[in-house]
Chains A and B, each alone.
Chain A
């Protein structure tokens, strides 16, 4: 097979040196922004710059070394991009701290440390992403439990009308952030097994080949239940996220564009129903249509954010020269308004490009992945990331109605940050598997039977 051997002959370069170089740039962004905050607000370099920069460098180097050792073929761009985003986020949170006299940045640094630790842990504990396929149903169940947790009296906490938090002593935690990762695994594991049945067996209704109930049923059930929980919790953002995620994965697994049409119809139907039924949905839409109608009341947050973006203009006011503290929750959902105000459209574009790069890199891993499960997980994670960025940034810039979600890697919030670092670890693992050269089969080439059995890489037992 000459063509196949040529294909086999192509080996991805590891590009770990390139990753290190990009990481240095990411560190310059993170530490430079932190220093700029000190210079802009207090007129001096922050006293703890060395300690802070050292710690950030240590985390980034630890992540890099781990990748070098356990995932040498992993995508070289992902880690630097998220390191830059995380560093910038820390600096902006520090900036808001100085304005509001809070101490969230150091907490966020602690969460980042935990995130990087879990990132390294995931890479080590997960030598092959296909191991996750074993936990298809377990993770589905875990996701449901996590989603229900905030509804348990005494455990759940309602913040801003959404019951999506659980508090354990001093810690509060957003289980939905972990659940989205678990659901991607569940959907991917289920769909990759049943994709043929879903795509081929079934009845044609109008223009869609509806699969048989026993094929689609279980996963549909999962999805409806999780969506129902989120609607009950009034978590619009996550509902939107999970809906889109499932739709994308179903479409990719079955390769049937008809699903998108069905999905779009369901979405508009659901959105219209939700608008009729729920006053909080109506109020979100009203704010979106005309935030200035109640600029000092319901529209206050969005109006202040828009003023902040406008005040920043093309190049921004510079750290310390804006008033990001005027926007409520600027350190979490609205952190992009702070970036837009003090660093300008330029920085917002850069942030969007970085997010775009993450999505692009994840989808690239999906494209070159050699197994269906890897493809689906990578696509699912890319879709989660893209949708989350779209929903939250579109919300704060008044492109779409505002629904609460965190801005990945930038916003203050432990659960989100930790979950996103684990997502990146899984994406790196998938890309590592995809880019890794095939095992050298030459010694066994004489025995065709053996070759056929050996081509499947051994999954170590756990």
Chain B
């Protein structure tokens, strides 16, 4: 019977070889794709159960991992003092999902980033569990606090708004506040029912506390867009800061019967006024006229030079591009297709209306570029990546987005105009004793009727930078809703100015 027994042996050998080959296939060949499968909760849970690196502002952590005695081992904790304030930037961590910096810097925080390879190797050899690296943000704690508390105290519990502050020379984001905000600790809870309940109620909230308005909300920039119009006008060579510019009580752009007025600001009434006066009193007639003089192509080119129609922030996901209209749809009844803006429409874009839309970050970038002699820097939030032991692995190098968004000459002229707007004009609430502040207000009409006539309240904007000649900080304040305030109170200077001032002071004090 030995012959068949040998045959059985060979058969058994093939059975085992088949098992070995198949296990090799599963554990070696397919391993990578199984580990990348988004349905693989094991991978998500493993990174969730690891000691994650800290997110820091200055020397203080704003997100840290605390050892706990449950199945996930580490709880993500956002120190309560700054939890809501920093939430739009830090984001939150949940099993299988992250937002904000928690998401964009996930590889560093979990320790899987190639930059941390050596650290990981050392940890492995020492027999220690690999720790994630730390992420140090560019945020200035004092500026962030001033921004968030300014919004909270000005807008009231029902309000909505956002502040972005940038260091003009580098593009470092010094403050990025969005109001209302949320407590990421509630979402990071290890109790799945509590976390999911917290998410549901935040998600259903009409005030959209989960929304990072600084990069996700775009609105009519209103008069703050006059910075772009003025820049285009000066760059075109047709106007200079010291020149007389056209003004008037009303302006009727070519090809329309619709008139643009100045909401009763008498300083704009003469047919010709100083450019500085036009900026100081935010004369709609002037800037509508300038936009028409420059033409839609140059207006668009100038807006795009400042970053419109594009995204620029790499450190957070979800930035929406701000808009300067590229074309207008022609109705099918008139042949369809698209056409260039008409002069009437261009006139409206010149005062930040029509379909011009901007995020707070975008207006901060415009302001920062003017403050930085015309050079636009890429805004960034991650300053440094560190090992768990706080050794710096990488420091972000500032990156120039546009060397000459405007020429240094133009930037200087614009600065002069904006300084006088704070000194003698509508932007005076942002004035700081002993410092030259450059600033501009914006109050963008929403809908066809004015607030005072029963329409919706306007959006209030404020942009500024200081010190004017050597800017340390450029700020954009956007107020979307302030229901506690009466119509007349909702104006860029009145509401936004003090917030911008507080943020600038927080930066300059250091």
Contact = CB atoms under 8 A, between A and B. Distances in A.
Interface of A: 248, 251-253, 255, 257, 292, 295-296, 303-304, 306-314, 323, 326, 340, 344-345, 348-349, 352, 355-356, 359-360, 363, 366-367, 372, 375-376, 379, 382-383, 386-387, 389-390, 393-394, 397-399
Given A311-B35, A397-B19, A326 B41 contact: yes
Contacts of A363: 5, 8-9, 12
Contact of A375 (B1, B16, B40, B46): B1
Given A307-B40, A386-B12, A314 B1 contact: no
Contact of A310 (B1, B16, B27, B41): B27
B31 A397 contact: no
A359 B35 contact: no
B390 interface: no
Interface of B: 1-9, 12-13, 15-16, 18-20, 22-24, 26-28, 30-35, 37, 39-43, 45-46
A382 B8 contact: yes
A252 B5 contact: yes
23 contacts: A251-B7, A252-B1, A252-B5, A296-B39, A306-B26, A306-B34, A309-B23, A310-B30, A311-B31, A311-B42, A313-B31, A323-B42, A345-B27, A359-B12, A360-B9, A363-B5, A363-B12, A375-B5, A379-B1, A379-B5, A383-B8, A394-B19, A397-B22
B24 A345 contact: yes
Contacts of A292: 39
Nearest to B3: A255
Nearest to A385: B12
A380 to B, nearest CB: 10
Nearest to A363: B9
A330 to B, nearest CB: 12
B23 A352 contact: yes
A389 B9 CA distance: 15
B319 to A, nearest CB: 34
A409 to B, nearest CB: 16
A299 to B, nearest CB: 11
Given A326-B41, A348-B27, A310 B19 contact: no
Contacts of A367: 2, 5-6
The listed residue with most A CB atoms (<10 A of its CB), out of B13, B20, B23, B43, is B23
B28 A314 contact: yes
Contacts of B8: 248, 251-252, 363, 379, 382-383
A344 B4 contact: no
Nearest to A393: B19
B23 A340 contact: yes
Contact of B34 (A310, A314, A393): A310
Given A345-B24, A390-B19, A311 B5 contact: no
Contacts of A304: 42
B23 A295 contact: no
Contacts of B26: 306, 309-310, 340, 397-398
A303 B26 CA distance: 11
Contacts of B30: 306, 310
Contact of A394 (B5, B7, B22, B43): B22
Given A313-B31, A389-B19, 15 more contacts: A252-B1, A252-B5, A252-B8, A292-B39, A303-B39, A309-B26, A311-B40, A314-B27, A356-B16, A366-B5, A375-B5, A389-B15, A389-B16, A393-B23, A398-B22
Nearest to B22: A399
A142 to B, nearest CB: 26
Contacts of B33: 310
B27 A309 contact: yes
Given A309-B27, A311-B35, A375-B5, A399 B19 contact: yes
A255 B46 contact: no
B407 to A, nearest CB: 58
Given A352-B23, A394-B22, A397-B22, A345 B1 contact: no
A398 B30 CA distance: 12
Contacts of B16: 352, 355-356, 359, 386, 389-390
A255 B22 contact: no
Contacts of B40: 307, 311
A129 to B, nearest CB: 15
A397 B24 CA distance: 10
A397 B2 CA distance: 33
The listed residue with most A CB atoms (<10 A of its CB), out of B3, B5, B37, B46, is B5
Contacts of B42: 304, 307-308, 311, 323, 326
Q: Top 5 nearest A-B pairs by Cβ distance?
A: A310-B34, A345-B27, A310-B31, A399-B22, A252-B4
B15 A390 contact: yes
A306 B22 CA distance: 11
B20 A307 contact: no
A323 B130 CA distance: 17
Given A311-B43, A323-B46, A352 B19 contact: yes
Given A310-B31, A323-B46, A251 B4 contact: yes
A382 B37 CA distance: 39
Nearest to B49: A323
Contacts of A379: 1, 5, 8
A312 B40 CA distance: 13
Nearest to B25: A397
B46 A344 contact: no
Nearest to A254: B4
Contacts of A386: 12, 15-16
A255 B6 CA distance: 11
Nearest to A192: B1
A310 B34 CA distance: 6
A395 to B, nearest CB: 11
Contacts of A399: 18-19, 22
Contacts of B1: 252-253, 255, 372, 375-376, 379
A323 B26 CA distance: 17
Contacts of A383: 8, 12
A255 B4 contact: yes
A369 to B, nearest CB: 9
A307 B37 contact: yes
A399 B30 CA distance: 14
Contacts of A307: 34-35, 37, 40, 42-43
A229 to B, nearest CB: 26
A334 to B, nearest CB: 13
B20 A352 contact: yes
B453 to A, nearest CB: 56
A344 B12 contact: no
A390 B28 CA distance: 20
Nearest to B33: A310
Nearest to A359: B12
A149 to B, nearest CB: 30
Nearest to A251: B4
Nearest to A356: B16
A312 B5 contact: no
Contacts of A349: 20, 23
Nearest to A312: B27
Contacts of B27: 309-310, 312-314, 340, 344-345, 348
Contacts of A296: 39
Contacts of A355: 16
B23 A323 contact: no
Given A255-B1, A255-B4, A348 B9 contact: no
A198 B110 CA distance: 68
A196 B223 CA distance: 107
Nearest to A368: B2
A389 B22 CA distance: 14
